[in-house]
Amino acid sequence: MTMRLRGQLAAVGGSIGITTEAGNLGELLRQADIAMYAAKAAGKGTIERYREPAQV
């Protein structure tokens, strides 16, 4: 998205990480953070949902 700020055009964007099934606030924030970094790794302007890591 492009916005005008103080007479100048500025490009604004973001990546979003989503989680919904955490047991407490700390876990919710941890999962959302992991999802956000996954979204950033996937490319600008993406949304990723937290997924449990695969068991090895």
pTM of the model: 0.72
Does residue 56 have a pLDDT over 70?
Answer: no
pLDDT reported for residue 53: 80
User: 48 or 12: which carries more pLDDT confidence?
Assistant: 48
Number of helices (H) and strands (E) in the chain: give both, helices first: 1, 4
Rounded to an integer, the average pLDDT of 20-42 is: 92
Which residue, 35, 40, 42, 43, is CA-closest to 19?
35
Confidence of residue 1 (pLDDT cuts 50, 70, 90): confident
Does residue 22 have a pLDDT over 90?
Answer: no
Average pLDDT, the chain: 90
